[in-house]
Amino acid sequence: MNRLLIVGCGDVARRALPWLVRHYRVYALVREVPDRALARLGVTVIRGDLDDARSLDRVRSLADTVWHFAPPPAEGDGDPRTRRLLARLARGGRVRRLVYISTTGIYGDCAGRLIDETSPPRPSSARARRRLAAESLLRAFGRRAGRRVCILRAPGIYAADRLPRARLMRGDPVLHADEDVYTHHIHADDLGRIAWAAGVRGRPNRCYNAVDDSQLRMGDYLDRVADRLGLPRPPRRTRAEVRAALSPKAYSFLTDSRRLANTRMKRELRARQRYTHIDAGLDEVLPLSPTAPASTSR
C-alpha cells in the first residue's frame, strides 16, 4: 500500500481521511502530543515541528506522497518551514509526489480581470509573498530532485463551520457594488478531493486554480451567508468608510479583485466537485429561509 504523509493535518485533510485511509497508509505530522482522534481514524501520528529541523528526521523516508498543507510563519517574506521540510525529504529520497496548498492571493490585484495560471504573480500582502516564496522552493525542489510537485492555489475555503458569522454579527461594512471586489471560494470537502486528484493526475511542477465556478462580488457573497444565517446583510459603504471601520488585516481582503479560470483544474485533474457553485454548498448546509430577501442571480 502506498504511504501518504500529511504535513498540516487540519480541517481540509481531516475531512478527507475517511476515504484516504482506504487507499493509503496515512501518517500525519503533528506538533503537539499525539492526536487520539487521528489515531481512531487509522492514522499514524508522528510528532514533529516545522520550526525544529531536527524533529523532522523521522519523516524524511516515510512516504511516497506528501500533502504539505502547513502555513508559512506569520511574519517575514519567506517560508523557512517549507525549506526545512524539503531539505529532509531530499535526504530521504523516497517521496515521489508532493501536493501543496497555496493561495490565489499570489496574483494580487487584477482589477477584476479574468486570469488563469499563466498570469504573473504580483502579491500585494506579506502573507501572499510568503506563499509565493514557498511555491518557488517547491518548484525548485521538483526540478532538482525530479519529483512531481503540484501546487493548488486556493481561495476562501468554506463549510458549515467555516462561515463569516462573527463578521456579520459585528455588522462590519462592505463596499458599494461599484467599488466591490470579486472573490472566489472552494468547499473544504472539494479541496480535499482536488488534492487527491493532484497527487494522482497532476503534472510535474504544475499550478492549478482550485476554485469553484462562482464569481461573486464580496458583498454578494456575504449577503448570501447572512440570509442563510438569519442575520442582517452587511451595510454598504464607500471605500474610505470601510477602510476606517476595519482592521488593516480585514481591509486587506478588500484590496484585490480578480476572476479566476479553473479550466486547467477541470481538464487535467478531473476532480469531482460536489459543490461547483457556492450557492450549492450553502443550500445544503444552510437552507435559505422563505423570508430572506432574493439573492442576486448567479
Sign of torsion over alpha carbons 278, 279, 281, 286? positive
pLDDT of 296 above 70: no
| Mean pLDDT computed over 254-266 | 97
* Helical spans, DSSP H, in the chain: 11-20, 36-40, 80-92, 126-145, 165-170, 188-201, 218-229, 239-245, 248-252, 263-264, 278-285
Which cell numbers hold the place of 179?
A: 467599488
Which cell numbers hold the place of 47?
A: 510528532
| Mean pLDDT computed over 184-191 | 96
pLDDT of 292 above 60: no
pLDDT value for 291 = 54
pLDDT value for 31 = 86
pLDDT of 285 above 90: no
Which tens digits make up the pLDDT trace of 25-55? 999 999 876 678 898 889 999 999 999 999 9
Mean pLDDT of the chain: 93
pLDDT value for 289 = 58
Which tens digits make up the pLDDT trace of 55-103? 999 999 999 999 999 999 999 889 999 999 999 999 998 999 999 999 9
- Which domains are delineated in the chain? 3-160+185-209 (3.40.50.720)
Going by pLDDT thresholds of 50, 70 and 90, the confidence category of residue 298 is very low
pLDDT of 1 above 90: no
- Long-range Cβ contacts of 50-57 (<8 Å, 24+ apart): 50/7, 50/81, 50/82, 50/84, 50/85, 51/80, 51/81, 51/84, 53/84, 53/87, 53/88, 56/29, 56/84, 56/85, 56/88, 57/88
Q: How many residues does the chain have?
A: 298
Which tens digits make up the pLDDT trace of 201-244? 999 999 999 999 999 999 999 999 999 999 999 999 999 999 99
Contact status, residue 90 vs residue 99, Cβ threshold 8 Å: no
* Helical spans, DSSP H, in 61-124: 80-92
pLDDT value for 288 = 63
pLDDT value for 35 = 72
| Mean pLDDT computed over 178-182 | 96
